[in-house]
Amino acid sequence: MPNGGKRRAAQGVSMTVTHDYATIEPSRSEVDALPGLTLLEFGSPWCGHCRRAQPLIADALASHAGVRHIKIADASRRRLGRSFGVKLWPTLVFLKDGREISRLVRPTAADAIRTALSDIDHA
3-state secondary structure of 91: strand
What does pTM read for this prediction? 0.85
Q: What is the pLDDT of residue 7?
A: 35
Q: What is the pLDDT of residue 16?
A: 59
The whole-angstrom distance between residue 100's C-alpha and the CA centroid of its chain comes to 11
Type and span of the H or E element at 94 = strand 91-96
3-121: in CATH 3.90.550.10: no
Least confident interval from 6-20, 27-41, 93-107: 6-20
84: left (phi over 0), alpha (psi -120 to 50) or beta: alpha
List of residues 6+ apart from 25 with CB closer than 8 A? 72, 73, 78, 79, 80, 81
Task: Read off the pLDDT of residues 46-83 as tens digits, 9 standing for 90 and up.
Answer: 999 999 999 999 999 999 989 999 999 998 888 999 99
